[in-house]
Structure formats: structure tokens, C-alpha cells
Amino acid sequence: MISVQKIISLILYKQSNLIVSLDYENFDDLVLAIELIKDKVLGIKIHSDIIKNFQPTFLNKIKGNLLIIDDRKFCDIGMISALQSEEITKYSDLITCHGLPGQGIIDGLMYNCITNNCGILLIAQMSSHDNLITSDYTNKVIEMANTESNKNIVMGFICQEKLVGNLLHFSPGVNLDVTSDELGQFYNTPSNLIKNGIDVLIVGRGITKKLLSQTNIDILLEQYTELNYDNLRAHFSNKLMIDLQAKGLVLVSDEEYTLSSGIKSNTYYNIKNIISYPKILSNITLYMSTILSQLCLNKFNNKNYNTCDIVLAGIPYGGIPIATSLSLHTFIPSIILREKQKTHGLFNKIDGNCINKNIIIIEDVITTGKSIINFCKLLKDSETDDIKYNVIAALSVINRGNIHYIPTQYGKLDVMSILYV
């Protein structure tokens, strides 16, 4: 069944939160546009009822790898909505629905949604001028979304701001060129909507008017792609903690554990055993790739980490499998720093090439930052008059000390983590 977590995973995998609203009337134009953008965006939104010669079997073939929303805006009694949605839910990942008819409309959509693995986005706010939605109505839609019986099919909202923490927020009305049109549509910028807590940006005419004639599509799409890192971390970290606890990787005892830092605690995060749970490790890798994008954006004003001359250095032992998995996913090179120089072979202290590269340290758990400080000292001690290194940041899975900076021999390093506990 489609879920909030699956959508988040797709955002992380695609490194995109952009939905393009392909409001073409000609089916051939729709197909051409999809072929141009399917590997570059999170998904598409369509109005199937305006498309001439519409062929849903084409969408059935791409469902799953590209999020498909049919913006049908169901708003009828349950029985009629059930009949209207039977075919639409077969090729859609998500459908849109007004809350105006009450619980009956969700009850009417539920069977087709569950059968066909399709979720619902409830329309809680609109971007059109003088729309009749009030704050009281929005609150009632939120209540409807959080009703226990609806949680398995309601994935989030069509809205203009963040409404709750456990669901996703999709916002239409995004345009960089204009602020309104002649028919009462207001537009907002990606940056403003992300500041308002929006997870997914839906862009129509700002892209579709240029898409079929644009020579550099990547630049066009990049203008509208802006991940909400705060929301992603909150969504992902909640799920990750549940997974870690379920696999026994978070140990709680009445007796105290002694941590590598010397600190004693009743809780122990056994993240080194993550190598036995490749699915969780894969999810951690997906999210860390997003942290890398954010880090490179902050450091180099470039979120494309593959063009930032970075290498990954996993701290033995817990950081090494995480760094390796991240390297395989992102194609960013990695290195291994030995505590002692080899006494045979090539006598290496560092395996891998990090000369003239920006080194990012990967750690499993940070408590005081002592391991990172020691790692930087070892790296500094391995330098020569001709060879110098540059460490710029540290990433970790667990951050026990709410640490955001660590003073090292390479200066004050930024620290970014998935879970702050």
C-alpha cells in the first residue's frame, strides 16, 4: 500500500520534491512531456478529464517509479465517488478529494484506493483568489485526515502551509515568473512555500509553457526544486527510530552502559549492527545523500554533491559500512584512514585518494565528538610538507549530544545528523 514513508523514500531517491502539473489536452503531448521529465522529477499531476484520446494503460506502466496524481477533486456522496474513482485509482498513486461531503466521501473512495494501492490528498486550502475555504473548514479537514480509520489512505493535503507533522503537504500555485493570472490564480515561489513548511511543490504553467520547446530541461526543473530538509529529517527520523527499536538496535537497561566516550548511559545505540539489516542501512543511505546535498548547498552553493570534489571517510568501525554504502549510492569516492601505518605492501596509512579533495567524516554515533577529533589528529599527523588535507564536515546517524560543531585541527567542523537523541 502506498504510504507517507514510501513517498518520502521516493523524494530521497529522486532528490526531488517537484510535481509537474501536465495540463495538456493532447495525449501525445502528455506522453512526450513525461518521457522528458520522468527521471528528473518526483512525479506528475494530470486532469484526465481534459485529455483527448486519454490512454490510462500508459500510466499503469510507469506507476510507482513516478508519482502520479490525478487531480480529480472528488466532491460527491460516497456511492458516486466510488463509481467515479474505480478506473482512476488503477493508474494513480494519489487522487485529490474535497472534505465538503464529510466522511462519506472517504468511505466511498476507500475500497478502490486500498484495492488499487492509491492514496488520497485532502484539499485543505486553495491558491485561488476569494476561495471560500475558511480556517474552521481547514481544521475540520485536518481532523478528518487524522481519523483512525482514514490514516491508511490519507497521505496528506493540498494546502499552502504546514498543517500537521505526520502527513505530507503538497502545494500548487508555484511560479517564478508571475504572481497571478487573469482568472484569479495566485502564485508563490518555491522558497516561500518551503519556509511555510510545504513538502512537495506542484508547478504547472511555469514549466509546461516552456517544457516541450526547452533545450536545457535540467535547468528549467532545477529552478523549481527545493527540498524541505527540516520536514524530511523529521519524517525520516521518526520512522528510523521505530525501525531501530524494532530490530533491537536501541538497547535500554536499568544498568548503565559505558560508552566509548567514557560517559555512562542507560541507553545504548548499537548502530554497528546495522550491517545485519541492509534495508535500514539502505534507507539511512538515502537520507544521508540528502544531507550531502544540503551540506554542499551550504558550503559550495551547489547541491550537486558529485561536482563538489568531496570524499567520504568512515571512522572505524561503525562509520566504515555507512560510508561505503553512501559511496556506492552517490558514486562519491571514499577513503579509509588507518590508525597505524601498514608494515607491509605499500605501507599505506590512507587507502584511497583524498589529495585536493574536501573530506567529509562519516560516523555512526556521536556523543562528545571525541572520535572525530582523534580522527582529524591522525589525518593531520599523516600530512607531509607536500601533502595537505581538508576536512569540512562530519555526518552521523545518531547524535547523542545535540552537537552541531566540533573543534578539530581542521577548524570548527559542521556536524549534521539524522537522529538527535
The secondary element (H helix, E strand) that includes residue 68 is strand 67-74
Residue 139: all three cell numbers together: 481544521
The secondary element (H helix, E strand) that includes residue 378 is helix 370-381
The secondary element (H helix, E strand) that includes residue 352 is none
Measured distance CA(53)–CA(6) in Å, rounded: 31
Find the angle CA(262)-CA(234)-CA(421) to the nearest 5 degrees.
15
Cell 500500500 locates to 1
- Contact criterion met (CB below 8 Å) for 275 and 281: yes
Annotated catalytic residue 73: yes
Annotated catalytic residue 76: yes
| Bridge partner list, 420 | 399
The secondary element (H helix, E strand) that includes residue 224 is none
Annotated catalytic residue 23: no
Catalytic residue among 71, 93, 199, 364: 71
- Which of 258, 271, 262, 248 is CA-nearest to residue 325? 271
Tell me the Cα Rg of the chain: 24
- Which of 319, 322, 325 is CA-nearest to residue 337? 319
Catalytic residue among 23, 29, 76, 243: 76
| Bridge partner list, 180 | 186
Catalytic residue among 28, 39, 49, 73: 73
Which residues are catalytically annotated? 71, 73, 76
